[in-house]
Amino acid sequence: MHKSSLLEIIRTFTQKELIKFDDFVNSPYFNKNKNVINLFIEIKKYAPDFAHNGLEKELLWEKIFPGKEYNYGIMKNLIFDLNKLAEQYIISMKFNEDEPLHSKYLLRGLFDRYMQDYFFKTMVAAERKYNMKYFLQKNYESADYFRFRAELKDFDFTYQQHFKVKTNLIEKYNLNSANLISEFFIEIFKTYNNIEAESVNRNSDVSNNPIVFFLKYVMKDKFEMLFDKLKNISGEGYDVLKIYFLMFESLSADKNASKYFDFKDCVLNSRKYLSDSEMRSLHSCLINSYTFDPPEGTNSDIELLEIFDYMIEKNIIKRPGERWIEEHVFS
């Protein structure tokens, strides 16, 4: 029992989470098996370490079924059911933290029930509430913002096509296209950074990687034309996409110091566009860009110290929610 996935999960729960999980296990909506409740009653006695010998399956069985002969199959099923509840609890916690996701599932449910007016009011309220400022304050990635806005537009299209068939949707499609393109390229540029980092660290050949091929050959000389189109449509979102494009240019440019300094200037002055976690990631990408191909005439110690000083100043030297600086950052 001590090495079970159930205890592995429960050991991560704080005291407050254990109390909430207790309510979760006792809720008849999630669990109707009284023996599963009794199993957790016995297990939680050994918090917070959950390392006591009393957690042996046979000893737990005696507490739950006093006087009955041990049954491996029944005990295994009880542990499995409680483990599933622990997994459901984690899912529930993550879902409860994600209000835009609530909105998405509510809209889907309302449309399935043909609640036309309620659906429309909910969609308009979501579009007003979940703007870029909301996503930044809640520490989402910018790609999450673009993805959600695109999904909202999909709901809008569905609504218009079912109930407003004469509406001209071209402007809506233009904005949705900008959201989809922005999300796509941000994720592509982030992945490109990871590929380059792995390539340098492992001395690997990445010329056959599909993303490298796509960015360097398929999209070569086409970015400027595409971004001109996006600039006229996507508004505030364009500024975020520009940062990631400068990252790509800095990483892919061959001995072009100006590309690095353009990216550096953009990152160090982009606070209003990005969440803490994304700012931290982009500073790491900036460090990659410098260390992979240091511009001539620069001092690496001074250059990297300047980037870390900005991270300290902006309070992003640690990952959001973490107590300690990572070892490689500290070093």
The pLDDT tens digits for 100-144 are 999 999 999 999 999 999 999 999 999 999 998 899 889 899 999
Check residues 322 and 270 and name the one with the higher pLDDT: 322
Which of 283, 281, 286, 315 lies closest to 140, judged by CA?
A: 281
Among residues of the chain, what percentage have pLDDT more than 90? 63
pLDDT at 235 over 80: no
Alpha-carbon gap, residue 281 to 234, rounded angstroms? 23
Residue-wise pLDDT for 257-288, tens only, equals 899 999 999 898 876 678 888 999 999 999 99
Q: Which residues of 50-82 are buried (b: 16+ CB within 10 A; e: fewer)?
A: beeeebebeebbeebbeeeeeeeeebeebbebb
Among residues of the chain, what percentage have pLDDT more than 70? 97
Structure pTM? 0.83
pLDDT at 48 over 70: yes
Q: How far is CA 23 from the centre of its chain?
A: 28
Q: Which residues of 144-181 are buried (b: 16+ CB within 10 A; e: fewer)?
A: bbbbbbbbbbebbeebeeeeeeeeeeeeeeebbbbbbb
